C-alpha cells in the first residue's frame, strides 16, 4: 500500500517539472520566432525604403562646355534616370558652336558607346568606313542638342549658350538649386576649374612617337564628311637635304617608317604624319631642321600621292592654302592632374573630362581624344552620387571616377597611339 502511495506522488512531481520545461521551450521558441520575424520585417522594410529612396533619388547636374564631350556627358546624365534637372553651359553662341569645320572620327568603341545612349547614326550627316563614323563636329553637336531637346519631357533640360561660367554665375544660383554634380568639359583652354577652386594643371607624358600636322582650306570644294585615308611604312627621299633614310638599319621587330592620315572634308583637309620614337637620321633631321619648306614638301607630295581620285591635286597655285608644322614634334598625352573633387560647402561633386594627345587631336591632327572613353564611367558615377547616403559615399564615387580617368590615360599611353595609327 505504501509503495503504491509513493509512486503517484513521484509521478506528479515529474509531471509538473515536464510541463514547466515544455512551457519554457515553447516560450523560447515563440520568442526566437518573434525576433526572427521582427528582424526579417525590419530588413524588408529597410530594403524597401532604401530601394524606394534610390528609385526616387534625383539630382541636379551642371555641364560646363557643350563640345562633343560635354554634350555626350549631358546625354549620359539624362539617360541615367537619376537627373531631375540638367543645365548645359557654354560661353560660345550657337552659330560659333555649330559652324566649326573640323571633322571627328568616332572609332568602333565610341560608336558602340553612343549607340547605347540612343544615338541614331542613320539620322546624322556623315559616312562610314571600316567601322568608323566620320562627321563634322558641328553636325555631331547639333544632333546631340536635338536629342536633349526631346528629353525635356522627362527631365528639366536647360541649354544656356552664350553664357560664361564664372563666380558671378555661381553666386546667382539659389542655394536650393545648387547642382549635386558638376561636369567640367570646357577643353584645355577653359578656366572653369579655377572658378571652382580646382587646380587646372596638366600631367604631360610622352607617347613615344613624333608627329606633324598640316591643314588645307579650299573654299571651292565640298563641305561634306569623307572617310580617312591611311598609308603606312612611308619613307621620304630627302637626299637633296643630305639624308639617306633608306640606307639606315631597320629594326625587323618594329613597325618602321612614317604613318600618314588624310581626313576631313574636301574643303577643310587635314593631314597627320606620325612615326614611332626612334633615333634614325631622318627623324633626328626632321626634329631639328630649321628649313620650314621640308615638311611642306613632304605633305605636298604625300597628299598628291594618296588623295582620293575625285579630289583635285595640290599645285604651286593652291599650295599657299596649306599650313603645316615646321618640324616633327614629340607627341604628348596631356590629362588633368585633378580629375575629380568635392566642394564640401555646397556639397557638389566635380568631375573633369577631356584628356587628349597634344599635336594629334580633334582640331589639328590624328583624331585622338580620350573624352569618349573617359565618359564611359559617368553614368555609374551619377547613379552613385544620386543614391549616396553620406559624404563617404560621394568620396568613394569620386575615387572610383579618378581611378577610371587614370586608367584611361595609362592605357592610351602604352597602346592607344599605336592602335590609332594602325587600326
C-alpha to C-alpha distance for 148 and 117, rounded to whole angstroms: 12
Q: What are the two backbone dihedrals, phi and then psi, of residue 317, each rounded to the nearest 5 degrees?
A: -75, -45
Across the chain, what does the average pLDDT equal? 84
Q: For position 250, what pLDDT does the model report? A: 53
C-alpha to C-alpha distance for 91 and 102, rounded to whole angstroms: 19
At 412, list the grid cell. Answer: 592610351
Q: For position 70, what pLDDT does the model report? A: 94
Q: For position 246, what pLDDT does the model report? A: 52
Q: For position 10, what pLDDT does the model report? A: 47
Q: At what angle do helices 391-411 and 378-386 cross, to 10 degrees?
A: 170
Q: For position 18, what pLDDT does the model report? A: 63
- Say whether pLDDT at 392 is over 90: yes
At 211, list the grid cell. Answer: 608627329
Q: For position 147, what pLDDT does the model report? A: 94
For 240-298, write each residue's pLDDT tens digit: 888 875 555 555 554 568 999 898 889 989 898 988 888 888 899 999 999 989 999 99
Q: What are the two backbone dihedrals, phi and then psi, of residue 198, each rounded to the nearest 5 degrees?
A: -110, 140
Fold of 59-200+334-410: FAD/NAD(P)-binding domain (3.50.50)
C-alpha to C-alpha distance for 234 and 238, rounded to whole angstroms: 12
Ordered by start, the domain boundaries in the chain are 1-56, 59-200+334-410, 204-331
- Say whether pLDDT at 328 is over 70: yes
Q: For position 331, what pLDDT does the model report? A: 86
Q: What is the pTM of this model?
A: 0.81
- Say whether pLDDT at 47 is over 60: no
Span 311-332, average pLDDT? 85
- Say whether pLDDT at 9 is over 80: no
Span 332-354, average pLDDT? 88
C-alpha to C-alpha distance for 300 and 155, rounded to whole angstroms: 51
Q: For position 200, what pLDDT does the model report? A: 83
Contact residues for 244 (Cβ-Cβ < 8 A; gap 6+): 281
In Å, how far are 101, 342, 343, 365, 377 from 182, measured between CA atoms?
Answer: 29, 10, 10, 30, 15
Among candidate residues 268, 262, 233, 222, the one with its CA nearest the CA of residue 367: 262
Q: For position 247, what pLDDT does the model report? A: 53
Q: For position 379, what pLDDT does the model report? A: 95
Contact 92, 161 (CB under 8 A): yes
**pLDDT over 70, % of the chain:** 86
Span 342-362, average pLDDT? 78
Contact 377, 226 (CB under 8 A): no
**286 burial class (0-12, 13-18, 19+ CB within 10 angstroms)?**
buried
Contact 70, 144 (CB under 8 A): no
Q: For position 78, what pLDDT does the model report? A: 94
For 81-114, write each residue's pLDDT tens digit: 999 999 999 999 998 888 887 888 888 989 999 9
Helix/strand/coil (H, E, C) string of the chain?
CHHHHHHHHHHHHHHHHHHHHHHHHHHHHHHHHHHHHHHHHHHHHHHHHHHHHHHHCCEEEEEECCCHHHHHHHHHHHHCCCEEEEEEEECCCHHHHHCCCCEEEECHHHHHHHHHCCCCHHHCCCEEECCEEEEEHHHHHHHHHHHHHHHHHCCEEEEEECCCCCHHHHHHCCHHHCCCEEEECCCCCCCHHHHCCCCCCEEEEEEEEEEEEEEEECCCCCCCCCCCEEEEEECCCEHHHCECHHHCCCCCCCCCCEEEEEEECCCEEEEEEEEECCCCHHHHHHHHCCCCHHHHHHHHHHHHHHCCCCCCCCCCCCHHHEEECCCCEEEEEEEECCCEEEECCCCEEEEECCCEEECCCCCCCCCCECHHHHHHHHHHHHHHHHCCCCHHHHHHHHHHHHHHHHHHHHHHHHHHHHHHHHC
**pLDDT over 90, % of the chain:** 43
Q: For position 100, what pLDDT does the model report? A: 81
For 132-189, write each residue's pLDDT tens digit: 899 988 999 999 999 999 988 889 999 999 999 999 999 999 888 899 999 999 887 7
Contact 155, 382 (CB under 8 A): no
Amino acid at each position: 500500500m505504501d509503495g503504491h502511495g509513493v509512486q503517484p506522488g513521484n509521478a506528479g512531481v515529474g509531471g509538473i517539472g515536464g510541463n514547466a520545461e515544455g512551457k519554457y521551450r515553447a516560450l523560447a521558441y515563440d520568442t526566437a520566432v518573434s525576433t526572427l520575424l521582427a528582424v526579417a520585417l525590419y530588413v524588408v522594410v529597410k530594403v524597401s525604403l532604401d530601394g524606394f529612396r534610390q528609385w526616387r533619388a534625383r539630382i541636379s547636374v551642371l555641364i560646363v562646355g557643350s563640345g562633343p564631350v560635354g554634350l555626350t556627358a549631358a546625354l549620359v546624365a539624362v539617360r541615367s534616370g537619376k537627373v531631375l534637372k540638367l543645365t548645359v553651359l557654354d560661353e560660345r553662341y550657337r552659330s560659333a558652336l555649330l559652324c566649326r569645320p573640323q571633322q571627328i572620327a568616332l572609332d568602333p568603341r565610341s560608336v558602340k558607346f553612343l549607340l547605347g545612349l540612343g544615338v541614331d547614326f542613320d539620322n546624322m550627316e556623315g559616312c562610314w568606313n571600316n567601322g568608323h563614323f566620320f562627321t563634322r563636329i558641328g553636325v555631331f553637336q547639333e544632333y546631340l542638342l536635338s536629342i536633349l531637346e526631346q528629353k525635356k519631357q522627362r527631365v528639366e533640360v536647360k541649354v544656356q549658350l552664350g553664357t560664361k561660367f564664372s563666380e558671378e554665375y555661381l553666386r546667382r544660383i539659389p542655394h536650393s538649386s545648387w547642382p549635386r554634380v558638376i561636369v567640367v568639359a570646357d577643353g584645355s583652354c577653359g578656366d572653369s576649374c579655377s572658378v571652382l577652386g580646382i587646380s587646372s594643371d596638366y600631367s604631360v607624358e610622352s607617347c613615344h612617337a613624333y608627329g606633324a600636322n598640316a591643314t588645307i582650306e579650299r573654299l571651292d570644294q565640298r563641305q561634306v564628311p569623307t572617310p580617312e585615308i591611311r598609308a603606312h611604312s612611308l619613307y621620304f627621299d630627302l637626299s637633296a637635304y643630305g639624308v639617306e633614310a633608306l640606307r639606315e638599319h631597320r629594326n625587323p621587330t618594329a613597325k618602321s617608317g612614317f604613318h600618314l592620315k588624310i581626313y576631313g572634308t574636301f574643303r577643310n583637309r587635314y593631314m597627320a604624319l606620325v612615326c614611332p620614337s626612334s633615333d634614325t637620321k631622318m627623324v633626328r633631321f626632321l626634329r631639328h631642321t630649321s628649313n620650314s619648306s621640308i615638311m611642306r614638301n613632304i605633305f605636298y607630295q604625300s597628299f598628291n600621292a594618296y588623295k582620293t581620285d575625285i579630289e583635285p591635286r595640290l599645285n604651286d597655285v593652291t599650295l599657299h592654302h596649306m599650313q603645316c608644322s615646321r618640324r616633327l614634334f614629340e607627341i604628348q598625352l596631356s590629362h588633368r592632374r585633378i580629375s575629380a573633387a568635392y566642394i564640401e560647402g555646397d556639397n557638389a561633386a566635380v568631375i573633369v573630362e577631356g584628356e587628349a594627345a597634344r599635336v594629334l587631336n580633334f582640331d589639328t591632327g590624328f583624331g585622338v581624344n580620350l573624352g569618349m572613353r573617359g565618359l564611359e564611367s559617368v553614368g555609374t558615377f551619377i547613379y552613385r552620387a544620386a543614391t549616396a547616403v553620406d559624404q563617404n559615399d560621394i568620396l568613394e564615387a569620386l575615387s572610383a571616377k579618378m581611378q577610371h580617368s587614370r586608367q584611361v590615360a595609362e592605357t592610351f599611353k602604352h597602346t592607344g597611339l599605336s592602335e590609332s595609327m594602325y587600326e
